[in-house]
Amino acid sequence: MDKKGKESPKQRILIVEDNATNIKLFRDVLVNAGLHVNAIEDGLIAVDEAIAFKPDLILLDVQLKKISGLDIVKQLKANKDLAHIPVVAVTAFAMSDDREKILEAGFDHYIAKPISIAIFLQEVFAMLEPKAA
């Protein structure tokens, strides 16, 4: 609640993830932390969903069924209305080559799976904080 007694709008997280167990875990953790969460499993609608939902942060699985997260982040960053939204890779990729590939593709950050909940929340909130001027 702010000083006028109005509830400030919740920050919005879009999850793109094709594993139902991960979706449930991420959603539960983020909703508990007071965030507004929308999750989709189909990477092919990720850009349209980002346009419609206007998230403050996108958590994007790299290994999806029909399209790579690497291709999705390129589409997001090529869209002038979406390019400002931080996109975090949530990935089991661990090798340094893969990390480089992830950052080169346009991701702002990455979180390794399996996630530690404390670190996951810390990373999400760090990415939601307005950039220092």
In the block, residue with structure tokens 């979180």: 111
Nearer to Mn ion, 71 or 81 (CB): 71
Shortest Cβ distance from residue 45 to Mn ion (Å)?
A: 15
Cα→Cα distances 94→30, 44, 87, 102, 118, Å: 24, 25, 18, 11, 19
Cα→Cα distances 75→30, 42, 52, 103, 125, Å: 25, 15, 15, 14, 24
Give the CA count within 13 Å in the CB-facing half-sphere of 73. Answer: 27
In the block, residue with structure tokens 């390019």: 83
Shortest Cβ distance from residue 65 to Mn ion (Å)?
A: 7
Nearer to Mn ion, 8 or 21 (CB): 21
Shortest Cβ distance from residue 21 to Mn ion (Å)?
A: 11
Shortest Cβ distance from residue 111 to Mn ion (Å)?
A: 13
Nearer to Mn ion, 11 or 68 (CB): 68
Nearer to Mn ion, 43 or 55 (CB): 43
Q: Provide CB contacts within 8 A for 126, sequence distance 6+.
A: none
- Residues forming contacts to Mn ion in the complex (CB under 5 A) are 18, 61, 63
